[in-house]
Amino acid sequence: MEIKQHERLHRDDKNLCKLAISELEDIYSDLGLSIEELDLLDMPRRSFSVHFPVRMDDGKTKMFVGHRVQYNDARGPTKGGIRFHPQLTHDDVEDLAFLMSLKCAVVNIPFGGSKGGVVVNPKEISRGELERVTRSYIQAISDYIGPFKDIPAPDVYTDEKIMVWILDEYERIKGEHVPALVTGKPIELGGSKARSYSTSLGGIYILEEAMRKIDLDKFEVCLAVQGFGNVGENAARLLHEKGYKVIAVSDSKGGIINQDGLDIPAVMKHKDLTESVVDFAGSTNITNEELLTCGCDILIPAALSDQLTRKNAADVEAKVVLELANAPTTKDADDIFFDKKIMLIPDVLANAGGVVVSYFEWSQNLTNDYWEEARVLERLKKTMITAFNDVYALCDKENCRMRQSAYKLALQRILHAEKLRGNL
Ligand code: NAD
């Protein structure tokens, strides 16, 4: 993967934190939280940094810094990715750990939220050095992670290969097999089927439930997807396989449109050959801005943050916006959509399919009973639809934006668990 992409994802997450935190201030006052409740939500349960030496290829030793924040564990062991990034700060990690607590609570899986990482640019070190950095970080934090304490996963700049080093180092320290320590593993070492496209499919299950609510017929709607990476391409492919008409897609170089529907498998081949969807035969080139206001019924931002703003929200004609990207809509645009009665399904719910399948991976590891793909999909569908209906019901009752009801629901679930434990 290109370093540029990861830098972008990192920026997206910063926007996500900014947006969520500004939203939360209103929600706290709406919920009328007590000082004790606010204090409890304001502070992570465990938050630490470690410094560790790594022998570099030139024989010299270099010190690295790593962070881990376990924000709230009232609902279960904390769960959250490990990122390797040269600009990683402890504050970023803390915000992201809080958001993970909310995301797990929205989809009602029995996890709290955490996040961690090492300040390093993996592009500037060798594979051997990367492995030693990973193993040394795990040695430094091994007492504080575990299948019933805190479960890491991939994040920016970390992948399946790094998850294997994490697992192997932890198992060497403990002297036993512990596959449920970490998720995002290869299938051969306990990974789950369907994980690679779970974020996109989870979003589509929610979309179909939303369409039922507002009487949109699958064969009468047309869709546009912004972004053609892991999430966008899988979303377009799965929608096409299900018989939906995807009329427009885009990537960083631009977009394409065909009002009769695009042949998505052919677009994927074209992208493999030319590295872009642009200039696909039988389609018209459009800009990314034009894609967002192209007159589709369902708009799926699956690329960058801050795409739907005060400037273009009034021109969006879609009836549903499904946020597969993190923070693609600004608060102004969210308000405009609410006034226009456009249903916006927020990122914290729409793109949670990945963490749901991580929960299934952990669960399969603990029981040593590995599921067929069909079972993973069935459970994913059930979890996502239930979460959508929970959020939708609250939204309906309180006549608020769906992002607000998702956060409210998550906070209520976390606080309820704290009360049951006697902490409030
Ligand atoms: P990716 O890097 O695989 O793909 C990103 C896509 O966006 C690429 O096709 C790229 O060409 C395109 N893009 C870049 N600049 C663009 C622009 N200006 N206009 C339109 N398209 C542009 O990333 P991804 O994993 O698919 O993630 C996409 C979004 O989904 C991010 O916001 C990410 O945080 C979020 N997300 C991803 C996952 C996951 O499981 N991968 C889970 C939750 C949320």
What is the overall mean pLDDT for the chain? 95
The residues spanned by each domain of the chain are 46-191, 197-350
Instruction: For residues 254 and 271, give the distance between their C-alpha atoms in angstroms, rounded to a whole number.
Output: 12
Predicted confidence (pLDDT) at residue 3 exceeds the cutoff of 50 = no
Tens of pLDDT along 251-300? Answer: 999 999 999 999 999 999 999 999 999 999 999 999 999 999 999 999 99
Residue 339, C-beta contacts closer than 8 angstroms, at least 6 positions apart = none
- Stated as kind and residue range, the H or E segment containing 410 is helix 402-420
Contact between residue 199 and residue 378 where contact means Cβ atoms under 8 Å apart: no
> What is the CA(254)–ligand 1 centre distance, in A?
14
Fold category of 46-191 in CATH: Rossmann fold (3.40.50)
- Stated as kind and residue range, the H or E segment containing 63 is strand 61-72
Which residue's C-alpha comes closest to atom 25 of ligand 1? 230
Tens of pLDDT along 294-318? Answer: 999 999 999 988 999 999 999 999 9
118 DSSP β-pair partners: 66, 84
> What is the CA(327)–ligand 1 centre distance, in A?
11
Least confident range from 21-30, 195-204, 238-247: namely: 21-30
Mean per-residue pLDDT for 193-221? 97
Instruction: For residues 424 and 412, give the distance between their C-alpha atoms in angstroms, rounded to a whole number.
Output: 13
Catalytic, 115? Answer yes
CATH of 197-350, one of 3.40.630.30, 1.10.540.10, 3.10.50.40, 3.40.50.720: 3.40.50.720
Which residue's C-alpha comes closest to atom 19 of ligand 1? 252
Q: Do domains 46-191 and 197-350 have the same CATH topology?
A: yes
Instruction: For residues 218 and 199, give the distance between their C-alpha atoms in angstroms, rounded to a whole number.
Output: 21
Mean per-residue pLDDT for 156-164? 94
The pTM (predicted TM-score) of the whole model is 0.94
> What is the CA(297)–ligand 1 centre distance, in A?
21
Predicted confidence (pLDDT) at residue 12 exceeds the cutoff of 80 = no
Lining ligand 1 with CB less than 6 A are: 5, 9, 12, 199, 226-232, 250-252, 288, 302-304, 324-326, 351, 354
Tell which atom from ligand 1 comes closest to the C-alpha of 5.
Answer: 2
